[in-house]
């Protein structure tokens, strides 16, 4: 049987890469970005920014962005194509809303089925004019304004993308924009703003609610950015090592943001032998190395309150659960229905194909772990979802490559080097 051995440096974090590009474009001057993730989603953000008049070029392994300022976007001459990237669409809709320009946003077939109204309803309340297809989806047309209203926004649903969209709009709004989060979400935007010395306030309120206060408009000074490795990408190899006998791996330069590594706590609770070593702080993010080795996992209950911190990791956690002793229950997964695929459906359908006892009860998934013993090849339906494709590619390690992944090309959306890195650990 194969095993994973050795050490690799994980590609740049997708969430940080999007934000590094956008905030650099909103600065006034030249920013150099190193270790930027070069995936289809990030290319979508680069191309949208270029269409808005931002000069971006690659010099050897460094990306250089010549920022136009917080009110410097130019009216595009063509539709802004976000491809498959929900992050590109939601963040850039917010970013352009406080500029006096008219933009049309489009996306691919998958993105055009994902809700945009949770962002646009907020922007409409502060003065942006938005026309959405069927009140919820791309294509959309937005007419922005320099005179959007400063307002206090209370987040009803936990969403780092919606929060970041409001923040990006607020950077060019005159007056105080406040955002209250009842449930804390990923905070890459806030950390990067602190690193760039953007003067905003953050405080913890009663009941652990968080409040962010901006007082715009801002002039952002450029500052070079180094993007840490993506923990969500690292998760695939970590689970691969945990479920494959004889494996022991070292993953370098990983972002250890507390809002991104909840999956490590889950895997440790399952009995995973994982060691984390913090090494430095880079551009507001803690960065370090992670070691993982083969472990006998056990089933656990994953509480719904962890859901905002595990959205991208549930598919690979379901693979870990399939090889754990006993039952794993994942609660409160409603948000998974609004990703590149309905990930609840994608997980359940494919695990059932492999005779794993898996049940779906409303927005919960229950998985009973067992050894997989295949007599013939099984086709895995990815539904065009990169994280489903990578998760079952990892399970294939212990299935003697008898799983036929129907669309491996979708992996390039978030992790073009996935196969190269996996092959390196297999050699």
Note if 312 is an active site residue: yes
HSE value, Cβ hemisphere, 13 Å, CA-based, for 22: 30
Taking alpha carbons only, the member of 169, 183, 327, 317 closest to residue 243 is 317
Report how far residue 150's alpha carbon sits from residue 304's, in angstroms, rounded to the nearest whole number. Answer: 33
**Active-site pick, 312, 400, 407, 423:** 312
Q: Compute φ and ψ for 281, nearest 5 degrees.
A: -110, 130
Q: Which residue(s) pair with 292 in the sheet?
A: 249, 274
Largest CA distance in the chain: 66
Tokens of 96: 């352009």
CA–CA separation, 322 and 298 (whole Å): 10
Among all residues, which ones are annotated catalytic?
312
């Amino acid at each position: 049987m194969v095993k994973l051995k050795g050490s690799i440096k994980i590609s740049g974090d997708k969430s940080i890469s999007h934000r590094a590009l956008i905030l650099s474009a909103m600065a006034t001057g030249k920013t150099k970005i190193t270790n930027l993730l070069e995936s289809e989603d990030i290319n979508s953000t680069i191309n949208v920014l270029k269409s808005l008049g931002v000069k971006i070029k690659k010099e050897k392994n460094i990306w250089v962005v010549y920022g136009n300022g917080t009110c410097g976007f130019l009216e595009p001459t063509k539709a802004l194509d976000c491809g498959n990237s929900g992050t590109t669409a939601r963040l850039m809709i917010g970013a352009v809303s406080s500029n006096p320009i008219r933009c049309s946003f489009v996306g691919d077939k998958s993105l055009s089925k994902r809700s945009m109204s949770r962002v646009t309803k907020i922007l409409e309340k502060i003065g942006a004019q938005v026309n959405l297809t069927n009140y919820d989806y791309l294509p959309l047309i937005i007419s922005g304004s320099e005179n959007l209203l400063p307002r206090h926004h209370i987040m009803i649903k936990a969403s780092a993308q919606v929060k970041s969209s409001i923040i990006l709009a607020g950077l060019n709004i005159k007056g105080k924009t406040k955002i209250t989060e009842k449930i804390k979400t990923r905070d890459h935007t806030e950390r990067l703003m602190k690193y760039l010395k953007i003067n905003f306030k953050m405080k913890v309120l009663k009941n652990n609610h968080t409040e962010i206060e901006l007082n715009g408009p801002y002039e952002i000074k450029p500052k070079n950015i180094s993007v840490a490795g993506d923990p969500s990408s690292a998760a695939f190899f970590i689970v691969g090592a945990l479920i494959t006998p004889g494996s022991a791996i070292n993953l370098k330069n990983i972002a250890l943001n507390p809002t991104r590594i909840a999956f490590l706590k889950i895997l440790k609770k399952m009995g995973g032998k994982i060691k984390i070593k913090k090494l430095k702080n880079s551009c507001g993010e803690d960065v370090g190395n992670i070691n993982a080795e083969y472990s006998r996992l056990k089933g656990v209950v994953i509480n719904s309150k962890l859901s905002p911190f595990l959205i991208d990791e549930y598919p690979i956690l379901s693979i870990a659960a399939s090889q754990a002793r006993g039952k794993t229950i994942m609660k409160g997964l409603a948000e998974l229905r609004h990703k590149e695929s309905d990930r609840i459906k994608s997980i359940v359908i494919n695990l059932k194909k492999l005779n794993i006892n898996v049940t779906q009860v409303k927005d919960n998934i229950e998985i009973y772990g067992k050894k997989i013993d295949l007599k013939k090849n099984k086709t895995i339906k990815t539904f065009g979802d990169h994280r489903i494709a990578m998760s079952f590619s990892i399970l294939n390690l212990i299935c003697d490559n008898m799983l036929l992944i129907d669309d491996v090309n979708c992996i390039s959306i978030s992790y073009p080097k996935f196969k190269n890195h996996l092959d390196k650990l297999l050699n």
